[in-house]
Amino acid sequence: MALNATIYKVELQITDMDRHYYATHTLTLARHPSETAVRLMVRLFAFALYADERLELGKGISADDEPDLWRKDRTGAIEQWIELGQPDEQRVRKACGRARQVVVINYGGRVADLWWDKAGAALTRAKNLTVIDIPTSASDALAALADRSMRLQCMIQDGQVQIFGDEGIAITIDPIVRMAAAVSTR
């Protein structure tokens, strides 16, 4: 018997002073049975970091031909392709050929470093790729916020991300840009 996805309802209020983007998004996230709470919340973090009226949650884990998040222009061309974790180098290169901008949100501590050590040299040739690392302490703190019904506020200023949850919980995340694209991705 196949396991079903767990549904998470999120009201995410975003104040991005770096991009002058201010909006509230009502999201429904389906957590695949093999997806961890950390990955689910990193997906939500990525949405907040790159929020846009056309940014969509992809099928992620359950689809090989879709990213975790993506943004398309009005013609259907892929403007931004966002992957989480440590995707296969070939998958990232293929994404770089399909999308104007590609972002990898890398998390997982030592595993993230090992992935970069293996794939980094080949990926540095991609001019439209940005790789951002999320410290393990931050991804673990995000996972602690995971709840089937969430109301979160996210404030982004000077590259620093603050996420405020219910009950006064606040998380500060300083994403580390391991590699920046030659073209702007934010």
DSSP letters of 166-185?
GGG-EEEE--EEEE--SS--
Q: Residue 183: pLDDT band by 50, 70, 90 thresholds?
A: low
SS3 20: coil
Q: Distance of CA 29 to CAs 25, 42, 47, Å?
A: 12, 12, 11
Task: Kindly state the average pLDDT of the residues 9-20.
Answer: 97
Q: Residue 65: pLDDT band by 50, 70, 90 thresholds?
A: confident
Query: How far apart are alpha carbons 114 and 137 in whole angstroms?
Result: 18
Residue 125 has a pLDDT of 92
Task: Kindly state the average pLDDT of the residues 115-129.
Answer: 94
The structural domains of the chain, ordered by start, are: 6-179 (3.10.640.10)
Q: Please say whether the beta carbons of 18 and 156 come within 8 A.
A: yes
Query: What are the helix (H) ranges across the chain?
Result: 37-49, 89-98, 110-123, 136-145
Mean per-residue pLDDT of the chain: 92
Read off the tokens for 30: 């389906």
Task: Kindly state the average pLDDT of the residues 153-163.
Answer: 97
Q: Which residue has the higher pLDDT, 32 or 63?
A: 32
Residue 62 has a pLDDT of 59
